[in-house]
Chains A and B, each alone.
Chain A
Amino acid sequence: MNPAIAQDSSLALVRSHVLDVAGIDDRDLERALGTLMRGAVDNADLYFEVSRQESWTLEDGIVKEGAHSIEQGVGVRAMAGEKTGFAYSDEVMVPALLQASAAAGAIVRQGQQGRVQAWQPRPGHRLYAPIDPLPTRSDDDKVAMLQRVDSEVRALDPRVRQVVASLAAAHDVVLVCASDGTLAADVRPLVRFNISVIVEDGDKREQGYAGGGGRFGYEYFTPERVLDFGREAVRQAIVNLDAVPAPSGEMIVVLGPGWPGVLLHEAIGHGLEGDFNRKGTSAFTGRIGERVASSLCTVVDDGTLPGRRGSLNVDDEGTPTRNTVLIENGILRGYLQDKMNARLMGVESTGNGRRQSFAHTPMPRMTNTYMLGGAHHPDEIIASVKKGVYARNFGGGQVDITSGKFVFSATEAYRIENGKLGAPIRDATLVGDGPTVLNRVTMVGNDMALDTGIGVCGKDGQSVPVGVGQPTLRIDGLTVGGTGGDE
């Protein structure tokens, strides 16, 4: 064994888990990288992954189904200038590895043989335990836990008609080796609990949803925590039974803390990803150093928060994650980079190179993106608004990177009238413009919170787990789209 590898125990563990079982040794890796580096290739990498997932779903008070899946494979990539050649195989074995390497390396036909650097094992953070979460609770306990929360939630309110609850865990083991000498491994546990309820009152029906998780074993889901998610789902559904149509038009909007940070993710975060800025297709292109938000706003992307859903010890290119300041007191400070875009823009990778799996190519992606807290008590912020909307919870959001326009949907929102919360409003959609929306932030709460661990970010057809967060924010002017008229 390569002596450098033996020094890092988690690397050795991953190595035996991923490579030794497939009969792949150092010489095979060198041969594969050598094949990839034929021609004028700047950088090449191999990404091995073995992933196991399970899920348990309860409906109608019974656990209807358990599901289990194993996915494994290797993705190989060669990069030359702005070109990328990529191939993968779900057979982790030497012939498949070499075949994929030849296919990916064909992106460049001429040029000198590139050099493979000696491997330098790169220790990452220790933000979570390198455990397999699947067996951290017995299957009997998993089933019992779902059944218990079902009966507890039904007992909360007689209007609860349906409960669907699920429990899921993933054990993702990855190993990256690259021609630049990177050699890194990561064992990534991830657990998740979801609950959705339907409540019925007369002929009115509403849905409520809650959930959460992180990079832990199943012990994270204590009975109290699980029941809290259940209470939250029921509370949301009941609130919406009395909801009136949302108003429409431009108005003052107060966003609640936590998950509403999806606004930052959509409106700001995506537009600061390195690929769009290198290509000049982002509304934020070329604006480093400029004011893009009011001076109350500081926004970071932090992949180093222990146990968080969006955290990683190393990114999918083997670079340790960081806490990157995106906006500081309103001034745009930085972009999120993977290796390729960093190289082409003459900067360092910020540890944001992420991919859905071995079968996908890395891109600059967010980790945990949030705004730092400010000076105001949240009650003060609501009291300051004569007429507007308070949005406490959101469904999904979406952004057009190029025009900067974004949209997201409130699943729980209220009118604000004379500084007090009024009637709940149903299904309001908020639209705005990313580069200008934060200039309209006039108050920032002292209640910064991260979401409960439910975020999934999609880009170019690839999904990765992320976190978002923010304090309560007052925004003076967002378009609210409802059917309730302008008044």
Chain B
Amino acid sequence: MSGRRPLSLQTGLGTLQEKAADALRLARQLGASQAEAHANFGTGFSVNVRMREVETLRHQRDQGISVTVWLGHRKGTASTSDLRSEALEESVRKACALAKYGAEDPASGLADADRLAKRIPDLSLYHPWAIDPAAAIELATACEAAALDHDPRVTNSEGASVSTSEGLRVYGNSHGFMGGYPESDHSISCSVVAAQDGAMETDYEYAVARDAVDLPSPAAIGAEAGRRTVARLGGTKLETRVAPVLFPARIARGLIGHLLGAIGGGALYRKSSFLVDALGKPVFAGRVTIDEKPHLPKALNSAPFDNEGVATTERRLVDAGVLGGYLLGSYYARKLGMQSTGNAGGAHNLVVHDTGESFEELLRKMDEGLVVADLMGSGVNPVTGDYSRGASGFWVENGKIRFPVTEITIAGNLKEMYLGIQGIGTDVDRRGGVLTGSILVDRMTIAGS
């Protein structure tokens, strides 16, 4: 019985595609007019070293298949982690049974057949890391040591971790589409604690890449974790004021991330977005241009096709501040009377163009204001764009960092913050789905003592 043989990366792609095809065939036999199946498999491990001793070794191995069927325009979904034929059959039957209770929804169904990816480009997403737990422990130990040894005020640690994972992603549907590919992710991270005058602060540094050769050295990551943590010691509260705010690249990613939610089909259709009807209008300052680049080799959010098999394509999302498109899958595209943009499941690598200024140049441009070190809490209202979050950071005077500040909030409205962007740094952070440099916002309310 093939179902009892454990899956592996080497042979799994064919097996997962067979399972997906079995599910689609069975759905058709049970009367489904359309069906789709997502199947996945992943394996890997992570190690954590704390205070120079191994703390954890975790092995990971996941598999699953999710089947969606349509009876006309009525939809049902079922998923299982058990890939044996009996369990798969039970899931398909369950999906069909659930669909009977769904309401007829004309927008519901597979993506249009002519939008599906015709070929699956190799985006260089799979680079297995030939490393065993013992070697990973050595790297983590070196990483943490660099953080602990960075400064005598680094007194404690949450540890350093090294993790590696590889997996398979398969999607098939009853239009005859069947695609799949392997991918990998590797990361090194370190988090330490520094103490001074009875107060403690913590911070971290990390790196993540498709290919382990693209990771910085563990020692560099550790030293940066130590530097960041020590820099936060001795923070004071700030008096309440209005000032410009500089979001360093790693935090600026999140600022652009709020755009993704606001121009997603579901939020637009439900009008639960602060950017309803913003298409073709200036949403950002004129100096802001953003591209979506789904096919960047080795990038973390690269994908040849979206969650519905629709081909992903490069496009300009924001042109000189003007919003040029939404992020749509088929369902909400139909609801809005538009076309899928290949974004079922989200955006694929947003690249924010820089304005040619380094981080230091942005500091000088700001002259006096706040550099954010960390944001906390979920104080962003997606409907109104109101933004108010807990923060810590550094106060800047005469273009230079003067002292750390803590226990403050920064508040504004995303609409105004986007229009008030004064510059985008050349210091691009590539560790996520948004590739941007630091972003300078002209004015926000900073609340403190």
Contact = CB atoms under 8 A, between A and B. Distances in A.
A409 B377 contact: yes
Given A68-B78, A207-B383, A409-B379, A82 B53 contact: yes
Interface string B48-83: 001001111111111110100000000111111110
B115 interface: no
B108 A64 contact: yes
B103 A63 contact: yes
Given A67-B98, A403-B199, 8 more contacts: A62-B102, A62-B103, A62-B104, A63-B101, A66-B98, A71-B81, A200-B271, A281-B156
Given A402-B200, A429-B379, A198 B272 contact: yes
A398 B156 contact: no
Contacts of A482: 388, 411, 445, 447
B200 A403 contact: yes
B407 A198 contact: no
Interface residues of A, number: 82
Interface string B357-385: 00000000000000000101111011110
Interface in A388-445: 395-403, 405-409, 426-429, 431-433
Contacts of A361: 56, 58
B270 A431 contact: no
Contacts of B158: 279, 281
A359 B240 contact: no
A60 B386 CA distance: 26
B378 to A, nearest CB: 4
Interface of B: 4, 6, 50, 53-64, 66, 75-82, 87, 91, 94-95, 97-99, 101-105, 108, 133, 156, 158, 193, 199-202, 232, 237, 240, 270-272, 276, 374, 376-379, 381-384, 386-390, 392, 406-413, 445-449
B108 to A, nearest CB: 7
B57 A396 contact: no
Interface of A: 56, 59-60, 62-73, 82-91, 93, 96, 100, 103-104, 106-107, 139-140, 142-143, 161-162, 164, 198, 200, 205-207, 246, 248-250, 279-281, 283, 359, 361, 395-403, 405-409, 426-429, 431-433, 479-483, 485-486
Contacts of A207: 272, 381-383
Nearest to A360: B58
Of A198, A403, A427, A433, chain B has the most CB atoms within 10 Å of the CB of A403
Nearest to A71: B81
A283 to B, nearest CB: 7
A377 to B, nearest CB: 31
B409 A479 contact: yes
B447 A249 contact: yes
B283 to A, nearest CB: 17
B424 to A, nearest CB: 24
B390 A405 contact: yes
A304 to B, nearest CB: 30
A93 to B, nearest CB: 8
Given A70-B91, A207-B272, A431-B390, A83 B200 contact: no
Given A90-B63, A409-B377, A429-B409, A162 B81 contact: no
Contact of B411 (A91, A395, A483): A483
27 contacts: A66-B76, A67-B78, A68-B76, A68-B95, A70-B79, A70-B82, A70-B91, A83-B56, A83-B57, A84-B56, A86-B58, A86-B59, A88-B60, A207-B383, A395-B379, A403-B200, A409-B379, A426-B381, A427-B384, A427-B388, A428-B388, A431-B377, A432-B407, A480-B409, A481-B388, A481-B390, A483-B411
Contacts of A68: 76-79, 91, 94-95, 98
B360 to A, nearest CB: 27
A205 B270 CA distance: 11
B336 to A, nearest CB: 13
A73 B87 CA distance: 14
